[in-house]
Amino acid sequence: MGRPLNRRRADGLPGIVDIGFVAGEMEEEMARPLNFAVVETGVFRSGFPEAGNFSFLRSLRLRSVVYLCPEPYPEANLEFLEDNGIRLFQFGIEGHKKHQNAKSEASFQEPFGNNIPEEMIREALKVVLDVRNHPLLIHCNRGKHRTGCVVGCLRKLQKWCLSSVFDEYQRFAAAKARVSDQRFMELFDITSLKHLSPPFGLLKSSAVA
């Protein structure tokens, strides 16, 4: 049981406030973005940050944000980045596309993984691998597919086995996991990025089956 905490009320008179209530207020002020996680020291991932997440992001002392969606960054988010000296790197990767069936006039969605721009993923990884950009947050909309593919390709550079790469991807994508995303990660060629692998903890980690 938390002890009561003396605290002034809104009317200026002393009041009694439960410590648990105060802790709840602090937790709300430091709310994490959807699907937030630590990838490695100085590298984080999440879904799209909202205004309620700004206090928590400020505590990370970010230098950079890698944004993987084509839509313009919201004004409030841009102001937050500017106020905190954070650099934005945007890679406009489409999430999915709707197609029309000529015969049935029914529409269906083409998964992101069917049309992943490999070169754009490669350029995003170059930003992530540059320690001058750390601490860094990688995010898309939900923190599942686009972010998952970038992190998965990074794990290949760390010499993770594919089963571990897929396990991590599925942990975030859950029921929305796509075979096409995993196929992309499996076939992604890391050869052209190996010379960028910096001598720091990011590439010393490895997961084995």
Q: Tell me whether strands 97-100 and 87-90 are parallel, antiparallel or unpaired.
A: unpaired
Residues designated catalytic: 140
Contact (Cβ atoms closer than 8 angstroms) between residue 36 and residue 45: yes
Phi, psi dihedrals of residue 110, rounded to the nearest 5°: -90, 120
Backbone dihedral region for residue 177 (phi beyond 0: left; psi -120 to 50: alpha; all else: beta)? beta
Q: Which residues contact 52 (CB under 8 A, 6 or more apart)?
A: 28, 31
Phi, psi dihedrals of residue 61, rounded to the nearest 5°: 55, 50
Greatest alpha-carbon pair distance for the chain in Å reads: 72
DSSP secondary structure code for residue 90 in this structure = E
Task: Judge residue 187's burial from the number of C-beta atoms within 10 Å of its C-beta, 0-12 exposed, 13-18 middle, 19 or more buried.
Answer: exposed
